[in-house]
Each structure stands twice: as C-alpha cells, then as structure tokens.
Chains A and B, each alone.
Chain A
C-alpha cells in the first residue's frame, strides 16, 4: 500500500508558467483534498473533492483549478503561476467526515 503519492516532489517555475500537480491514493477513499503550507500560515485548504465527480472550493482557491479524474486521482493546476504561489503543496485523502491521510508534498518555487 503506497497510501497517497504526489508528483513531482520539487518544481521551479517562472512567473506565468503553468503546471499540474498530480495526486493518487490507493486506499479507496471517497474524499480527496489539496492544501498549501506556508511558514506562519499553517495548512490551508485550496480545494477538495468529497466524491468522484464533485469538487468544492476551500479557503484559498484563487489561482488554482482541480480535476477529480477518477476515484484514485485528484490533480491541482496552476494556470499562470505567481510568486505568491511558492509553497509546499499537500494532497490528502480520507473517508467522508473522518481522518485525512497526507502525501509527502510537492515543493514549488515560482520565480
């Protein structure tokens, strides 16, 4: 059981470039989440998907889009990266209304 996996582990972008962060889980969870973690700000929810085919905004959705490709996969897209999006991004999954299990993170730098 790999749990929650994320790719890539590290990424450097220039302002205005786009990229997609990938997340997959093999625990058969219905719900999946994207967070960002910044020093002094803690973990903040960007988007989540309660089940396949649904997505909802979290606390800080601006500048991001998501796709729940199937039950296993949930991707996060930055259409036009900005320096303010420099952060560590975590994907998580879990059964509804219960514990969330996190991936190892993607460290993104936008120059």
Chain B
C-alpha cells in the first residue's frame, strides 16, 4: 500500500535554530513529490516540486531535498513567521483518463518557531 509519513508531528524551535522535517514514502513509481505550507484556517500554499533523487530546491530559508525513499525540508535560521503546518504529497499514479494527478498527502508537521 502506498504510504506517506511525515515526522515529527510537531516541532518547536527557537528563532534561528535550524532543523529538518522529514517525509518518507513507500510508493511504486514516484512521479513527483510536493511540499506545501498551510497556515491555520487557510488552504495549502505550494512551496516546491521535486521529481528525481538528488534534486534540491530552495526558497528563502527553506530547502527541499529528495532521495529514493524520503524528502527533507531544511529550515535555516527560522523566524516566527515560518510557523505553520508543512505538508508533503506524492504523485503516485495518473487517473483513469491518463491526464489526472492524484496526490497522496502525509499527515503534516506542525512547526512552531518562538522568538
């Protein structure tokens, strides 16, 4: 069964304390891995897409990396405004009409950054 597991479930950091969030997956034929940020009461906001092992992408204090079994979201010198829930999702197969993009989401990591 295809699975996506995120760890830890919750992470408390002091401002400036760098850390990493993990997304491990057991899927056959990964077609893409996506990272989203979700603030309370809002919809997920797209951050990154990774397609192949070894790929890395950066945006401000965030850097996403991908291996054959997991992805990491590294947060360098976080600020309180980085507090949010971070979701990862994998594209595991296409829809019956061969054009869809069905994503399987992990449970998320709730990040809290204290000033």
Which residues in A have some Cβ–Cβ distance to B below 8 Å? 4, 30-31, 40-45, 48, 50-51, 54, 56, 58, 90, 92, 94, 96-105
Query: Which residues of the partner chain B approach A100 to less than 8 Å between Cβ atoms?
Result: 34, 46, 101, 103
Q: Which B residue's beta carbon lies closest to that of A58?
A: B102
| Interface residue tally on B, bucketed by range | 20 to 34
Contact assessment for A50 and B97 in the assembled complex, using a CB-CB cutoff below 8 Å? yes
Tell yes or no: B91 within 8 A of A by CB: yes
Q: A42-B105, A42-B108 are in contact. List 20 more A-B contacts (CB 8 A).
A: A31-B100, A40-B107, A42-B87, A42-B106, A43-B89, A48-B100, A50-B97, A50-B99, A56-B95, A56-B96, A56-B97, A90-B43, A96-B99, A97-B101, A99-B49, A100-B101, A100-B103, A103-B43, A104-B42, A104-B43
Query: Which residues of the partner chain A approach B58 to less than 8 Å between Cβ atoms?
Result: none
Contact assessment for A42 and B44 in the assembled complex, using a CB-CB cutoff below 8 Å? no
Tell yes or no: B31 within 8 A of A by CB: yes
Tell yes or no: B17 within 8 A of A by CB: no
Tell yes or no: B45 within 8 A of A by CB: yes
Chain B facing A: main interface SS: loop
In the bound complex, CA of A31 to CA of B102 (Å): 10
Total cross-chain contacts (CB, 8 A): 70
Tell yes or no: B55 within 8 A of A by CB: no
Partner among A30, A41, A43, A58 whose Cβ is within 8 Å of the Cβ of B44: A43
Query: Which residues of the partner chain A approach B87 to less than 8 Å between Cβ atoms?
Result: 42-43
Q: Which B residue's beta carbon lies closest to that of A49?
A: B100
In the bound complex, CA of A3 to CA of B46 (Å): 12
In the bound complex, CA of A100 to CA of B87 (Å): 13
Query: Which residues of the partner chain B approach A58 to less than 8 Å between Cβ atoms?
Result: 102
Query: Which residues of the partner chain A approach B105 to less than 8 Å between Cβ atoms?
Result: 42-44
- For residue B109, give the distance in angstroms from its CB to the closest CB of chain A: 12
In the bound complex, CA of A102 to CA of B42 (Å): 9
Q: Which A residue's beta carbon lies closest to that of B46?
A: A99
- For residue A90, give the distance in angstroms from its CB to the closest CB of chain B: 5
